[in-house]
């Protein structure tokens, strides 16, 4: 195993070196780096040209200049840009910004993609399956910059206009959403037409009721989940996770989950109006999440009985979801202050940049600010990768469901839940895990267009500005990071595959 990893790493380093050489020459030869100076009318033109040539060693031919650059990289110095700024500093700032942009988009896309892919595989050839297939083909074919402009127009400007004066959902929207959610649930739930009709009714009534209540309580101006919402979500997820992971017959799991949900409801008021003011740093939020997981795990362990593993898992998932809902409610608490603050002026959804400049406020206000700035680019990124993950997870699960051992599992009388969750789902995840690992390596470089449209000063901008000025140094800094990540995650994908699938041997 170790020799495999080392051999692969050495081979990868050589591949990356060759790729950087190719890339450096392509960039350096793609235009004239002195074009702007040659066309300028500055009196000291010759002098400027001379100084730039000296700054960037332009008198050395690109195939040889590469080695000057490479010697710098070995010392950890990516050189300077055309303007004489240090690429290292630019890179550091750009990488942070891009990682902030793509992390949430990737997580949400993977989660949604898996969820939708799995449900379509389980309901193969249903109306739901066909619609999702069509939609994912549509997403495949969407140019991301086109979607981005549409998002700016309708989600940002349109929604801000909607929020501007007394936001109330129009009746038509409520009816449309009601029918949509009814149809969605009816097509996901299996069974006879009668059962589907009942499901349609329940989903439609629930949606219509929720939207009406939101309208009546002026929810869009003063969003809140309140303790009622937290309780409903907590108890709902307790039942949901129990049904999914152990089945509702496992009373111990259900009790553990409900205890965790009750704990969440109990800390709601103390947290919202007292404890949360002490949370001033992001790591504290992460610490609270870890604490939640720990407490839930302990509850699950104590209640667990003989088969502790699944019970602990149910408890942890329930605890984290409840905690997430409570945190969400806390963010909503400052929404009104944020939206009407002097910097934002009632138009909360931002179209450009990563944060509101000079915004003062607690961690919670900063969080809302990040959310409003991330919303549009994240949506744009999700649309594209969502389609890929849906198709892959659907294909993967269908492949597994046709295996003999699934038939064996069904034949020996296991419930459909056990067959799908324990036998099929886990094995279907193996190929998806490698695809995910592979994709994560590519996303830092894949957000170039999204960054451009939404004005993020990230890796994409580093690349684009460098290329536009025929300046290899920033472009190469971009490429070393992107290519290095791609190669690293490629290796991780192979190792994950070998670790998850005992049939694969690496040597």
Partner 1 sequence: MSNTLIPEPGHSAPGVTDAENNLELREIEGLSQGQIVRRRFFRHRGALISMVVLAFIVVLAFSSVGLSFSFFGIPIRTPGWWQWTWTQIDPPQDGGRPTLSLIPRFLGGEGLRFGDHPFGQDEVGRDIFAVVMRGTQQSVVIMVVVGLIAVSIGTVIGAVSGYFRGWRDSVLMRFTDIIITIPVIVVGAVVGKAVGNQGAFALAIVLGLFAWTGLARLVRAEVLSLREREFVDAARVAGASNRRIIFKHILPNAIGVIIVNSTLLMAAAILLETALSFLGFGVQSPDTSLGKIISDNQAAFATRPWLFWWPGVFIIAIALCINFIGDGLRDAFDPRQKRLPGARTLAKATRRAKSSA
463 binds partner 1 (CB under 8 A): yes
Q: Which of 59, 65, 56 is nearest to 25 (CA)?
A: 65
Task: Indicate whether 125 belongs to the interface with partner 1 (CB under 8 A).
Answer: yes
Specify the residue, 223 or 442, whose C-beta has the smaller distance to partner 1: 442
Token pair listed for 294: 């720990």
Helices (H), 447-471: 448-454, 459-468
- Of the pair 234, 377, the CB lying nearest partner 1 is at 377
The distance of closest approach from Cβ of residue 394 to partner 1 in the complex, given in angstroms and rounded to an integer, is 13
The conformation of residue 425, written as its DSSP 8-state character, comes to I
Q: Are 482 and 16 in contact (CB under 8 A)?
A: no
How far is residue 267's CA from residue 279's CA, in Å, rounded to a whole number? 15
Q: 264 vs 483, which CB is nearer to partner 1?
A: 483
Span of 201-209, 292-300, 330-338, 475-483 interacting with partner 1 by CB under 8 A: 475-483
Select 27 or 279, whichever has its Cβ closest to partner 1. 27
Closer residue to partner 1 in complex, CB, 102/487: 487
Q: Which residues contact 329 (CB under 8 A, 6 or more apart)?
A: 224, 225, 226, 229, 230, 268, 272
Residue 400 is a binding residue for partner 1 (CB under 8 A)? no
26 binding partner 1? (CB under 8 A): yes
Residue 27 CA to residue 388 CA, distance in Å, equals 31
Report the half-sphere exposure of 258 (CA within 13 A, side-chain side).
9
Q: Which of 7, 42, 54, 145 binds partner 1 (CB under 8 A)?
A: 145
Find, among 248, 263, 258, 245, the residue nearest to 311 by Cα. 245
**At closest approach, how far in Å is the CB of 50 from partner 1?**
25
| Binding residue (CB under 8 A) for partner 1 from 9, 71, 107, 149 | 149
Say how many residues make up the chain. Answer: 507
Based on the shown chain and the rule CB under 8 A, indicate whether residue 407 belongs to the binding site for partner 1.
yes
**Helix pair 426-446, 87-122: axis angle to 10 deg:** 150
Size of the site for partner 1 (CB under 8 A): 51
Residue number with CB closer to partner 1 (219 or 463): 463
Q: Single out the segment in contact with partner 1 by CB under 8 A; choices: 56-64, 98-106, 249-257, 461-469.
A: 461-469
Single out the segment in contact with partner 1 by CB under 8 A; choices: 25-33, 46-54, 226-234, 284-292: 25-33
DSSP letter (8 states) at residue 350: -
Buried b / exposed e along 453-491 (16+ C-beta atoms within 10 A): bbebbbbbbbbbbbbebbbbbbbbbbbbbbbbbbbbbbb
Site for partner 1 in 415-434 (CB under 8 A): none
Applying CB under 8 A, among 23, 109, 326, 339 the residue interacting with partner 1 is 23
Nearer to partner 1, 361 or 484 (CB): 484
Closest separation in Å from C-beta 455 to partner 1: 13
Q: Which is nearer to partner 1, 144 or 327 (CB)?
A: 144
Distances (CA, A) of 63 to 20, 54, 69: 11, 17, 11
Residues that bind partner 1 (CB under 8 A): 11, 14-16, 18-19, 22-23, 26-27, 29-31, 125, 134, 137-138, 140-146, 149, 152-153, 157, 402-404, 406-407, 442, 445-446, 448-449, 452, 463-464, 467-468, 470, 475, 478-479, 482-483, 486-487
């Amino acid at each position: 195993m170790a020799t495999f990893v080392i051999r692969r790493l050495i081979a990868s380093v050589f591949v990356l070196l060759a790729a950087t050489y190719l890339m450096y020459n392509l960039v350096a030869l793609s235009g004239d780096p002195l074009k702007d100076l040659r066309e300028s009318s500055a009196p000291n033109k010759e002098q400027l040209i001379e100084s730039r040539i000296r700054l960037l060693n332009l008198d050395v031919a690109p195939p040889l200049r590469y080695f000057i650059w490479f010697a710098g990289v070995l010392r950890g110095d990516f050189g300077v840009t055309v303007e004489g700024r240090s690429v290292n500093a630019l890179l550091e700032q750009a990488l942070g910004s891009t990682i902030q942009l793509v992390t949430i988009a990737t997580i949400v896309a993977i989660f949604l993609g898996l969820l939708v892919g799995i449900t379509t595989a389980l309901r193969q050839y249903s109306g739901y399956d066909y619609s999702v297939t069509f939609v994912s083909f549509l997403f495949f074919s969407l140019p991301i910059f086109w979607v981005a402009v549409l998002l700016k127009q309708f989600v940002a400007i349109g929604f801000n206009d909607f929020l501007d004066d007394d936001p109330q959902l129009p009746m038509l929207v409520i009816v449309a959403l009601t029918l949509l959610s009814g149809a969605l649930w009816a097509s996901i739930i299996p069974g006879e037409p009668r059962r589907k009709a009942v499901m349609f009714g329940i989903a439609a009534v629930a949606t219509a009721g929720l939207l009406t209540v939101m309208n009546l309580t002026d929810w869009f101006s003063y969003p809140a989940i309140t303790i009622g919402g937290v309780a409903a979500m907590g108890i709902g997820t307790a039942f949901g996770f129990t049904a999914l992971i152990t089945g509702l017959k496992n009373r111990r799991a259900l009790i553990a989950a409900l205890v965790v949900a009750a704990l969440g409801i109990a800390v709601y008021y103390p947290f919202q109006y007292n404890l949360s003011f002490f949370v001033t740093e992001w790591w504290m939020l992460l610490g609270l999440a870890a604490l939640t997981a720990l407490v839930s795990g302990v509850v699950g362990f104590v209640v667990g009985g003989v088969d502790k593993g699944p019970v602990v898992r149910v408890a942890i998932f329930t605890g984290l979801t409840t905690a997430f809902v409570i945190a969400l409610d806390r963010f909503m608490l400052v929404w009104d202050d944020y939206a009407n603050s002097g910097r934002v002026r009632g138009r909360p959804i931002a179209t450009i940049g990563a944060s509101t400049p000079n915004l003062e406020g607690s961690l919670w206000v900063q969080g809302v600010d990040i959310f409003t700035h991330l919303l549009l680019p994240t949506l744009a990124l999700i649309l594209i990768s969502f389609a890929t993950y849906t198709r892959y997870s659907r294909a993967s699960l269908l492949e597994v469901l046709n295996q003999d051992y699934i038939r064996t599992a069904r034949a020996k009388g296991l419930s459909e839940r056990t067959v799908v969750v324990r036998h099929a789902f886990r094995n279907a995840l193996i190929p998806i895990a490698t695809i995910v690992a592979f994709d994560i390596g590519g996303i830092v470089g894949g957000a170039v267009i999204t960054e451009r449209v939404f004005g993020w000063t990230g890796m994409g901008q580093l690349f684009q500005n460098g290329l536009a000025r025929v300046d290899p140094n920033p472009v190469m800094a971009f490429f070393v990071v992107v290519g290095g990540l791609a190669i690293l995650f490629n290796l991780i994908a192979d190792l994950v595959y070998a670790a998850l699938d005992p049939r694969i041997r690496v040597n």
